[in-house]
Structure 1
Amino acid sequence: MQVSQTLPARRCEAVKPTLPRGMERDGFVALVDAIASSLGIGAAAMMTFRTMIASTRPSAFKRGPDEPCCYLSQNEIAHKRGVTACRIREHEAALVRAGLIEKRTMANGARSGFSGCGVFFGVAIARVEEFLCLRDEVEADRRAHARLRGQRSSHKRHLKGFLSELIEHQGRTAEVARIQQKFAGWPAGQALHRMSLEELQKHEAEAEALTISASDLLHETHDRPLENERSYLQDTTQDSNEVTCNDPVDMRGVGKPTHSTASGPQPDGHVHCLEKQDGAVSEAHKSKFIQNLGGGRLYGLCSEEMRLWLDIERQKRGRLDFHSFVIAAQKRLPELGIHPSAWEEAVGLLDEDAAMLCVLITDAKVADPEVTILSAGAYLRGMVRAQRTGSLNIMGSLIGLNERSRRRY
């Protein structure tokens, strides 16, 4: 009889779930917190979970015969939380349904460390690998959501510009009024945060379609490059490997991101071609060098991956315009592992056109076997830091890309 009682105890100890190597109790709580909403756990119930787990021994999550357990009564937990015991019962029921806790209590519901009764966390610890995968999915969805919000923001900026020009040249025609009416129905930026990913995807697609329709309408009425489409992004029949600059360029000047993020060729050239003497970055797109670039030539400086996105945008609208390059750059961000916040920071400081060129340059250098970029996101942020110190030189970087392209071909 003694053998039959001892074997189950050893078996129980052998299968006791523990956290993977490198994860401690607090890291486990942070993991659960990151995926709580996906499990249907609200902020209040999660606070109760944190309160209960804080009463456990951290070592129990890693080793020892005992499974982590909270022995506090519901009244004690309620006192710590500053809520009623009824609320704690509701929270515990939700946590049980979500598979985060297991309640083992005495017949009268009492909990005691002496009798081994309480709230146990082994069921959640056993799901750590599942939770890690879920966290990755949640983070991917969060980044996709941020990227779509950024694209919608770009659509809004461009559409406002298109409508302004349409009204100036055509007046409020029936088609312009239709576009205006649909545009007025767009949700505000803050409302986008409350949309599900599926809802936002649908809205962003509709916003892009409306922006393209306005661009097409404006394109039909002009026989000259559009201000909103930037003359340097119009298709051209000139050689895509030829880049000229009407201003002298000192190729010895270098505007580099931090040394820790990249090695090899960096943004080079003198800032005279990029900015006016007062350094106003909003004037960057007005450089003679940029204005002499056609869409075909800028396309030729892009990586193969960026060109795929540009080809998709070209199919949608029949040509490449400024809007095409901005949207393609944003869609390239997740493939490069660049967080949406890096794009937002670049747009906030450099304006959208210059931010797009920074992504194009970063992407092209990542694809260049002669250049070692340890982190595309860090490189892009390095360009933003360079702008803050006045050493960023987008123009020289574009010239450098063109020269390397000429050497390869």
Structure 2
Amino acid sequence: MTLGQLANQVAAGEIDEKARASKWQVFRDIREAKEALGATDRALAILNALLSFHRADELTAEESLIVFPSNEQLIRRANGMSPATLRRHLANLVTTGLVIRRDSPNGKRFARRGEGGAIDQAYGFDLSPILARAEEFKALAAAVQAERKAHRLVKERLTISRRDVVKMIEAGINEGVPGNWQGFMRRYEAIIARLPRTAARLTLETICNELEDLWVDVHQTLESFINSQNPNANESQSERHIQNSNPHVSSTDESEYGLEETGEASGVGVKNDNVRALPSRDLPLGMVVDACPELLTLARDGHIRTWRDFVEAATQARPFMGISPSAWQEAVEVMGPEKAAITVAAILQRSDRIASRGGYLRNLTERARDQKFSVWPMIMALLREKLDAHAKAAGNNGRSVTDPADGDRGVTVEISEALRKNMKKKGWER
């Protein structure tokens, strides 16, 4: 006897008379929280066998909860084990407070029946703690499930961050972008070297945060290079391309942004040169989601963790944008599913300025077929617009800003933590 066992016996004796619980549901909760409870797998197999000796599916305080099977019966129902193993794991059930021993004077398990066959006195294993602690087991199971989900999500974050950082570093090296790429690579390797084979969630979160800081630095280096190549072509022209290359775009958008036909015509030639000068590597997923947050409203559970999720969300957005299946299929065949999805997401982000989204997608598909279109300038323009909006709001120390393109509608633009760090490094947020 220990104080913990005595406390379990006291709790079992104070069960509410109206208490009831499904024995198999409580068993599932116990199985989920077995590590927190300290129960072993073999002990749970024995507990499952003990519960099977209780005839009703529900445990209630109105009836006896003592079962008294022999060791031979328990061994058969527990799929076979040696008597020594049985005794060891029965002791585990008692130690963890899942059952209570009700020993007879001679240590055997049996029941005395009275008139009518009703049990007057029983000696064996008392299942009362399972009923008394049913809510505790349920809460423990929910906590274990939440921790498992959080661990899975942080592992997904880690995978995406590693992939995006490596892709951006490779793009910078292969495209000859000026930057301390060897330093970035050493920094990345130093972070990953601290990643153990089996890591706790807090360890993974710490490594993820460091990788995301590295992501911001590498992303800023690439963005600065693209902007320095030709700011007018890479930012303004790419924005004009999204807004006005389509002949169906409304004239109010043109007047709002002060666009002229001569400027548009002169930008086309420069645009083609810039397409060849842009990185040939794929865009990192995190960068694209930052640039096109509208697509998150159509994503499953409001999260995009993989390129498959991104393409699926773009496929869901297609009918709402009035894009025909044939236009989407053609874009996928010419650009590939990921770049087609990026294009659709960028069009969705600017949907209030594009009248015919399907026609515009076909236009961009034809340009991509002639190798005159790249998704890099389109995404960079959206990111620049997002950062510029927050730069204007920096004087008010705001965390969100109303997009001027939305007039008086008061649409709030949310930014990710990565972009916020980027802004701090440029001195736009104090």
What is the distance in 1 between the residues matched to 2:186 and 2:59?
62
Higher helix proportion (structure 1 or 2): 2
What TM-score, normalized by structure 1, do the two folds share? 0.55
Contact 2:102–2:124 (Cα < 8 Å) also in 1: yes
Equivalent position SS for 2:101: strand
- 1:17-54 C-alpha deviation (Å, 9 max, x unpaired): 57856x42221211222222221223222222112111
What is the distance in 1 between the residues matched to 2:103 and 2:57?
23
Identical positions, percent:
16
Gaps of 5+ in 1: 1-11, 226-230, 251-255, 258-264, 321-409
Match of 1:342 in 2: none
Q: In the TM superposition, what is the alpha-carbon distance from 1:266 to its structure 2 partner? A: 11
Distance of aligned partners of 1:220 and 1:186 in 2 relative to their CA distance in 1, 3 Å threshold: farther
Match of 2:158 in 1: 152
Q: In the TM superposition, what is the alpha-carbon distance from 1:151 to its structure 2 partner? A: 1.2
How many aligned positions are there?
278
Distance of aligned partners of 1:90 and 1:275 in 2 relative to their CA distance in 1, 3 Å threshold: same
Distance of aligned partners of 1:235 and 1:201 in 2 relative to their CA distance in 1, 3 Å threshold: farther
Q: In the TM superposition, what is the alpha-carbon distance from 1:116 to its structure 2 partner? A: 0.9
Superposition map of 1:118-133 within 5 A: 118-133=124-139
Of 187, 190, 193, 1:182 maps to 190
Of 253, 275, 284, 2:328 maps to 275
Match of 1:104 in 2: 102
- 1:308-365 C-alpha deviation (Å, 9 max, x unpaired): 6x25333323279xxxxxxxxxxxxxxxxxxxxxxxxxxxxxxxxxxxxxxxxxxxxx
Letter matched to residue 36 of structure 1? K
Equivalent position SS for 1:294: helix
Contact 1:17–1:122 (Cα < 8 Å) also in 2: no
Contact 2:216–2:418 (Cα < 8 Å) also in 1: no
Equivalent position SS for 1:61: strand
Distance of aligned partners of 1:142 and 1:184 in 2 relative to their CA distance in 1, 3 Å threshold: closer
Superposition map of 1:2-401 within 5 A: 16=15, 23-58=21-56, 61-62=59-60, 64-66=62-64, 68-81=65-78, 82-114=80-112, 115-168=121-174, 169=176, 174-182=182-190, 185=193, 187=195, 191=197, 194-223=198-227, 244=243, 246-247=245-246, 268-271=320-323, 275=328, 277=330, 279=332, 280-282=336-338, 283-287=340-344, 289=347, 291=378, 294-295=382-383, 296=385, 310=415, 312-318=417-423
Letter matched to residue 315 of structure 1? R
What TM-score, normalized by structure 2, do the two folds share? 0.53
What is the distance in 2 between the residues matched to 1:96 and 1:14?
16
What is the distance in 2 between the residues matched to 1:149 and 1:125?
36
Contact 2:195–2:207 (Cα < 8 Å) also in 1: no
Letter matched to residue 330 of structure 2? Q
Equivalent position SS for 2:104: coil
What is the distance in 1 between the residues matched to 2:157 and 2:246?
34
Letter matched to residue 131 of structure 2? I
CA-atom RMSD in angstroms: 4.4
Contact 2:99–2:129 (Cα < 8 Å) also in 1: yes
What is the distance in 2 between the residues matched to 1:36 and 1:246?
62
Distance of aligned partners of 1:53 and 1:17 in 2 relative to their CA distance in 1, 3 Å threshold: farther
Letter matched to residue 181 of structure 1? E
Q: In the TM superposition, what is the alpha-carbon distance from 1:61 to its structure 2 partner? A: 0.7
Letter matched to residue 101 of structure 2? K
